[in-house]
Structure 1
Amino acid sequence: MMESFKSNKRAFFVKAMVIACVMLIVGTGLWLQSIHKIVVIAHDGEQMEVSTFKNTVGDILEKENIVLHSADKIKPYLTEKIVDGTEIIISRAFEVKIVDAGLEQMVMTTDINVEGLLNSLDIVIGENDIVTPVLNMPLVEGQKITIMRISEKYEMEKTQIPYQTITKHNDNLEIGELRKVRAGNEGVKEVKVRIVFENGIEVKREVVEETILVEAVDEVFEKGTKNFIVTSRGEVQRFKEVIIMVATAYTAGYESTGKNPEDHGFGITKSGTQVRPGVVAVDPRVIPLGTQLYIESLDSTPSYGKSSAEDIGGSIKGNRIDLFFENVEDALRFGRRKVRVYVLDN
């Protein structure tokens, strides 16, 4: 009876031990199943599925020997707990160049486009600034982003207004005569100038507003258009030019020409004609030989009248004219004076 009891007790103990072991195995399996996770890691353009018992993002990266650099970004954070099905996304930073108003800097970024990069760096873009490439352009490694800073300012300036010269025709003035009627005066205006700068350098200047402070006064001339004269004999003569000249007098004698009556060529003009009242000597560069003239006195003395340019003289250059007189007394009496020479339109 005692042996039978001991045998039953031993069998019960063995059975209990078996049950305990089974429960331990089952419990361990359930526990292991509860801490086991399948996660997906996305990085460097690839996705990998990882089976793990690790608890945090940092732990699983360490186990998989995935190294993060300082500018890389990861989601979720390294300290966050992972669960079955967690997706870990690693964004690798790459280098780009930013040229802001001429100043260069190299930066590491994980942003996907230009606008995101500028926002992450707290770079403010003004209304008129120009960004190249455009803000929505995707970023790639080694890309260059240029920011041109556009600014403007306004200045007030005073400037001179030049006067205009106006010429009016006057039929009462002889052709070629010019008379000033009114002097010109410059005006003054105040202008508002818009100045545009690119990266601090002036590139444009334009007047956007102006106010006249003093009006300019135009200079006025009257130009003669009268092309006829009435001679001392009452004849109407048309002319094409008027020249103010210095007139002297000469004769055919020795005192003027160095020749005596018996000398060859005495009394013969450069044109080969015989000297006579009305013949004058001129500079052919000013008045061609053969030109018909009317010579008017500018003082109270009688005008020399109609004449013909047929001779020349050694001292007759430029606006000088020599008038022929038949005797020395008349020539000396005429002397030297200014005359108005009309070039007749024959």
Structure 2
Amino acid sequence: MSHWMKQLYARFTWRKLAVSSVGLLALTGILILAVYELTKAEVTVKADEELLAVYTHASTVGEVLEEQDIDTTNHDYIEPSEETVISEAMTIVYKPAQRVEVNLEEEERSVWTTAATVGELMDDLYITVDEHDYIHPELDKQVNEGMQVIFKPAFQVTVISDGEKETVWSTSTTVADFLENENITLGEMDRVEPETEEELREEAEIKVIRVEKVTDVVEETVDYATVTRNDSSLQQGNEEVKQQGKKGKIEKRYEVVLEDGEEVSRKLINEEVVKESEDRIVAVGTKKQTESVSRGSSSAGSSSSESSSGASSSGSSNSSNSSGSSNRSGSSGNSSSSSGGNWETYTATAYTASCTGCSGVTATGIDLKANPDANVIAVDPAVIPLGSRVEVKGYGTYIAGDTGGAIKGKKIDIFIPDSNKVKSFGRRNVQVRVLD
């Protein structure tokens, strides 16, 4: 064989050997790859409600999730746990946790949860939601990152309104909230107990009070006054009715406040005389009888008549004074003359016609409320006679037209219409004489 042929044969042999080696290496790689793939474990990963078939040589659940680029936290739900060894046909469940804000009975807190719905979140928190409770969002709503969940448990409240009493379930925080939620409207004058800003508590009783103002018109009868007038044409001790009295009428308007239909206050706002009363006028005799004397006397019998001014006098059975007097009437034991009797010292007090329990009408029938300028005093009938004209030194002339339970002996009670002046008058000694 020639040298050239030998070289050609040698080259062919080495090329054939090189090709064979490369093929062997490729075949070996394929076999290794095939064995690698065939030795992988098949597992199912359930994440975000999706199922994914995974072939892996990972030894633990955590390594499988890492291979799938799933970043886990200690709040996430992983079943089985990350340390669990992988086995053929294993199913791995992964739920990422979400942070939500939960307001439970006015207390706020952050919660990590893997619950799919608000209802599941409440179950995880061991909270039972009843039909009357307040929950927002609703139980079937899906949980989202950053969601705010508000829960208020319902409690029973008793409400009294418009004549009805009812027990209702409520989740309101204040009385005002409760009224709004129950569609209870308050009028301008209405009020509620407890007040609207009060915090509402379990078993509370809420009372709605309807308030209204009405006008009430009342017609009252006004008694007539009895006026006595001295009459010198009548004998002493005799009386004669000159004019019969007639009762009057007065119309009074009251502002009345009603609470739930019941009257709680009444205020007089206007008073109008519909018909004036007419006084009953009585003439009282002052004429003295003529006395006869014996022949040997130095003077003949004479008769005298005393002139007297007519005085207005109206009796009050329950009039009071600063010394506690009532039931005024009076008479005098002083002898009188045309110039008046002797001055004597009396204890004087003062009274008004508007005292507690007073009618304002004197024992002789003088209506002091209708006649505030009347000059009247109360006297002891055993000391100063009723109807007498009496002078109080430094104060003026008065008619003895009233009596009082505390007016005994040498005491008088002077009528003064101004209650402030009555208080300042107090008790003092005065000089008094009977004029007629």
Would you call these one fold, judging by a TM-score over 0.5?
yes
More relative contact order, 1 or 2 (CA 8 Å, 6+ apart): 1
Q: Deviations over 1:30-66 (max 9, x none)?
A: 4997842133544368777654322331232244453
Match of 1:129 in 2: 190
Alignment of 1:163-182 (within 5 A): 163-182=224-243
1:179 match: secondary structure: strand
| Cα distance in 2 for residues equivalent to 1:238 and 1:130 | 77
Find out whether 1:84 has 2:125 as its counterpart. no
2:227 match: secondary structure: strand
- The worse-fitting range, judged by mean Cα deviation, of 213-222 and 23-32 is 23-32
| Cα distance in 2 for residues equivalent to 1:238 and 1:111 | 95
Contact 2:292 2:302 in 1 (8 A): no
Aligned mate of 1:61, from 113, 122, 145:
122
1:140 match: secondary structure: coil
| Cα distance in 1 for residues equivalent to 2:110 and 2:266 | 64
| Cα distance in 1 for residues equivalent to 2:28 and 2:65 | 26
Match of 2:24 in 1: 3
Match of 1:216 in 2: 277
| Cα distance in 1 for residues equivalent to 2:260 and 2:30 | 98
Shift in CA distance, 112/169, structure 1 to aligned 2, threshold 3 Å: farther
| Cα distance in 2 for residues equivalent to 1:129 and 1:47 | 36
2:289 match: secondary structure: strand
Give, in angstroms, the shift of residue 73 of structure 1: 0.9
Unaligned 5+ runs, structure 1:
240-346
Match of 1:201 in 2: 262
Shift in CA distance, 220/11, structure 1 to aligned 2, threshold 3 Å: farther
Aligned partner letter, 2:26: F
| Cα distance in 1 for residues equivalent to 2:148 and 2:29 | 57
Contact 2:136 2:150 in 1 (8 A): yes
Percentage of identical aligned residues: 23
Shift in CA distance, 176/96, structure 1 to aligned 2, threshold 3 Å: same
Q: Deviations over 1:197-240 (max 9, x none)?
A: 332234555543232232222222232344x333467524689x
* TM-score in terms of structure 1 length: 0.55
Shift in CA distance, 220/143, structure 1 to aligned 2, threshold 3 Å: same
Aligned partner letter, 1:112: T
Aligned partner letter, 2:272: T
Alignment of 1:1-346 (within 5 A): 1-9=22-30, 25-27=66-68, 29-30=70-71, 35-43=96-104, 50-226=111-287, 228-231=288-291, 235-236=301-302
Give, in angstroms, the shift of residue 128 of structure 1: 3.0
| Cα distance in 2 for residues equivalent to 1:23 and 1:69 | 42
Give, in angstroms, the shift of residue 193 of structure 1: 3.8
- The worse-fitting range, judged by mean Cα deviation, of 201-210 and 62-71 is 201-210
Greater strand content = 1
Give, in angstroms, the shift of residue 68 of structure 1: 0.8
Give, in angstroms, the shift of residue 29 of structure 1: 1.3
- The worse-fitting range, judged by mean Cα deviation, of 26-35 and 173-182 is 26-35
Contact 2:248 2:275 in 1 (8 A): yes
Match of 2:48 in 1: none
Give, in angstroms, the shift of residue 121 of structure 1: 0.9
Q: Deviations over 1:16-35 (max 9, x none)?
A: x9999689744451499784
1:95 match: secondary structure: strand
| Cα distance in 2 for residues equivalent to 1:163 and 1:219 | 7
Aligned partner letter, 1:68: V
Aligned partner letter, 1:142: E
Shift in CA distance, 71/24, structure 1 to aligned 2, threshold 3 Å: closer
Give, in angstroms, the shift of residue 72 of structure 1: 0.9
Q: Deviations over 1:67-94 (max 9, x none)?
A: 2112211233334443334443321111
1:54 match: secondary structure: coil
Shift in CA distance, 49/128, structure 1 to aligned 2, threshold 3 Å: closer
Give the CA RMSD over aligned residues. Answer: 3.8
Shift in CA distance, 130/237, structure 1 to aligned 2, threshold 3 Å: farther
Aligned partner letter, 2:120: D
Q: Deviations over 1:142-169 (max 9, x none)?
A: 2222233333432444443332222233
Contact 1:229 1:236 in 2 (8 A): no
| Cα distance in 2 for residues equivalent to 1:40 and 1:52 | 10
Aligned partner letter, 1:95: Q
Unaligned 5+ runs, structure 2:
1-21, 42-53, 57-62, 77-94, 294-299, 306-436
Give, in angstroms, the shift of residue 190 of structure 1: 3.3
2:177 match: secondary structure: helix
1:229 match: secondary structure: coil
Q: Deviations over 1:106-161 (max 9, x none)?
A: 11111122222122111122333342222222222122222333334324444433
Shift in CA distance, 6/238, structure 1 to aligned 2, threshold 3 Å: farther
Q: How many residues align?
A: 237
